[in-house]
Amino acid sequence: MKFLQLFPLYGEYVQDFYAARPGLATQPYAAQNAALIEDGFGLVHMFARYLAPHGFETEIVFTEAEPAQRQWLAENSPTRLDHNENWRHEIAARQVNAAKPDILYITEPVGYDRRFLDLLTHRPRMILAWKAAAIPAGTDWRGIDLILSNFSPTFKWALERGAARAEFFTPGFPDQLREEMPDEGKIWDLSFIGSVSSEHRTRTDYLNSLAKAQLVRENDFSLGYFLRTAEPEIVPVGVALHNRGALWGQAMHRVLKGSRIALNIGIDLAKGETGNMRMIEATGLGSFLLTEYQDNIRKYFEPGVEIETFSSPGELEEKVRFYLRDPVAREAIAQRGRARCLRDFSMSQSVARLAELIRHHLK
């Protein structure tokens, strides 16, 4: 059974990825695609990389990697594009039509909704997608058989936008990733990796309060913010001073593994829910996770046992300092968090569940 995963990427990541690999953009499509898979952007969502043992023939298409996509076009489809400005959708549609997958998995169905599906001449037996964030008005999911999410409002929104079904699902941490990475020791006392925007006001406030707290105590702990933002004007000066720039893929995993404390703060839209992928990535890599408290936190990890939480700027600062002073307590929690992650949120479990969902749908 053929499984094709469409995997959109941030434009900034694509630019950084090729800049770090001179000459790759002129290599054959297979070489570029393999390098993108190996770098591991969004690895907890990269199911096509791990599904083969469940009887699937898999392929991943990185729809926003323009050098790779145009190389595929040159190698496989010499006919000119109908609308060059729409190259992302047109090339991806040609790839789906050429591969003729039984299963099409769309990692970001906002940009690849009904308007994209209408470009397909091949109709997969099943089309499914993941979404656990805001869905813009006008998104049309008619033609999508199943939306997967761990964010409860998505289930209602998915049906309203035309999807046939929606189910709870959690992406997974690759079981052996930590062991496969070099052991570089702990470099940062505390790190935060993620986006800052007008949708992350609470996050921005927490990051700013921590930067101020560090300044008052004369830099008594190292603070690394690795931020992506399209709105630099909203970033406070204190936050900007600690920003080392966005991280992706392997570089992100190295910083998470190399942090004594991995900080996690959700998007404002969450409103009492947690479950973002940074929780799974940090715990899976064996780092101590300090995350904003949300009502459903125990669905994922037990506070004070497998992770630690905070509910105010004062509590955040207090727990940062406490756990930096007590590495024994910190590492004990980190190891229990890793054990819980591998027990309940491993990639092997996620792909087994995904295979089960697919086969159930196709009965």
Fold match flag (2-172+347-362 vs 177-344): yes
**Tokens (6 digits) for 300:** 């994922």
pLDDT score for 222: 92
Amino acid symbol at 142 = R
pLDDT at 65: 98
Task: Please tell me the predicted confidence (pLDDT) of residue 114.
Answer: 97
User: Quick check: 247 and 37 in contact, CB under 8 A?
Assistant: no
Q: Which of the residues in the chain have pLDDT under 50?
A: none
Q: For the chain, how many residues are written?
A: 363
Contacts of 115 (CB under 8 A, 6+ apart): 89, 140
Q: For Cα atoms 239, 226, 184, give the angle at the middle one, nearest 5 degrees.
A: 130
Give the pLDDT of residue 269: 80
pLDDT at 218: 64
Q: Between 3.40.50.2300, 3.30.300.180, 3.40.50.300, 3.40.50.2000, what CATH number should domain 177-344 receive?
A: 3.40.50.2000
Pick from 168, 170, 173: which is nearest to 339 by CA? 173
Quick one: which H or E segment has residue 183?
none
Q: What is the pLDDT of residues 248-269, one digit of tens each?
A: 999 999 999 999 999 999 888 8
pLDDT for 219 = 63
| CATH fold group of domain 2-172+347-362 | Rossmann fold (3.40.50)
Residue 339 has what DSSP assignment? H
Spatial strand order of the sheet with 188-195 comes to 223-228, 188-195, 259-264, 288-292, 308-310
Using a 10 angstrom Cβ sphere, with 0-12 exposed, 13-18 middle and 19 or more buried, the burial of residue 274 is buried
In this structure, the strands spanning 188-195 and 259-264 are: parallel
- Domain ranges (residues) in the chain: 2-172+347-362, 177-344
For 149-193, the pLDDT digits (tens) are 999 999 999 999 999 999 999 999 999 999 999 889 999 999 999
What is d(CA 336, CA 309) in angstroms, rounded to the nearest whole number?
15
Strand partners, 126: 103
- φ, ψ at 355 (rounded to 5°): -60, -40
Q: What are phi and psi of 259, to 5 degrees?
A: -110, 130
pTM of the entire predicted model: 0.94
Q: How far apart are CA 16 and CA 66, in angstroms?
A: 13
Cβ proximity of 108 and 144 under 8 Å? no
